[in-house]
Amino acid sequence: MPHLRLAVLASGRGSNLEAILRAIDRGELDAEVVVVISNKSTAGALEIARARGISAVHLSALQFPSQEEFDKAFLQLLERHQVNFIALAGYLKMLSPTIVRAYRHRILNIHPALLPSFGGKGLYGHYVHEAVLAYGCKVSGATVHLVDEEYDTGPPVIQECVPVLEDDTPDTLAARVLTVEHRIYAKALQLFAEDRIVVEGRRVRVLPAKEG
């Protein structure tokens, strides 16, 4: 699927969105962010999009009488922008099965730990890093994975480790993990842009780079 027309979904500050945009600017990611969608009107990610002239849309299920109506509006928005790939970047809502089905194997999420550890409902943001430290883990990391109908259960595309240091706090660990997130998210997206991903059940196979 060459050239990704990306919708980035984010609930928060948007540093992963920023990293994706910078990778595009540097020519490392063959993609265009055509719309940024947030369930939170105050999300920093919407500001980042507006500052770059990218369509920034606040869309929340609370604005609709039913989940079906929300899904319909959501899919219409994606269609209007001819979105062919979705990147969740700190998006705290679960996508409905209707949306997952419509974009099967074309939705990625980034999680700030090595899944399947420290994932699932309620494990997001600083809660993840607190749990990693409370367990006494010696390593943590980041996972870019395909999105399915549950929280954080889709197969990984890229995982990378970071050490947990003796004097880490949730903040210092989060910062170390975040630098990895910013690097591997664009890298994972580029694998899709180069059509190098084959999904076989739970295994995501990465084909070698094409010559030339």
Task: Report the interface residues with ligand GRF, using CB under 6 A.
Answer: 10, 12-16, 89-90, 110-112, 124-125, 178, 181
- Is 28 or 68 the residue whose CB approaches ligand GRF more closely? 28
Q: Which of 3, 58, 81, 111 is catalytic?
A: 111
- Contacts of residue 177, defined as CB under 8 A and 6 or more positions apart, other chains included, come to 112, 113, 129, 140, 141, 142, 162
Shortest Å, Cβ 2 to ligand GRF: 26
φ/ψ (deg, to 5) at 169? -110, 165
Q: Which amino acid is at 43?
A: A
Q: Is 191 helix (H, G, I), strand (E, B) or coil?
A: helix
Shortest Å, Cβ 164 to ligand GRF: 16
CA nearest neighbour of 160 among 108, 105, 110, 120? 110
- Give the other-Cβ count within 10 Å of 61's Cβ: 16
Shortest Å, Cβ 168 to ligand GRF: 15
- Is 4 or 115 the residue whose CB approaches ligand GRF more closely? 115
Tokens 């869309």 belong to: 59
What whole-number distance in Å separates Cα of residue 128 and Cα of residue 130?
5
Shortest Å, Cβ 91 to ligand GRF: 7
- Is 70 or 118 the residue whose CB approaches ligand GRF more closely? 118
- Cβ-proximal residue to ligand GRF, closest one: 90
- Is 51 or 209 the residue whose CB approaches ligand GRF more closely? 51
Known active-site residue 182: no
Which of the residues are catalytic? 111
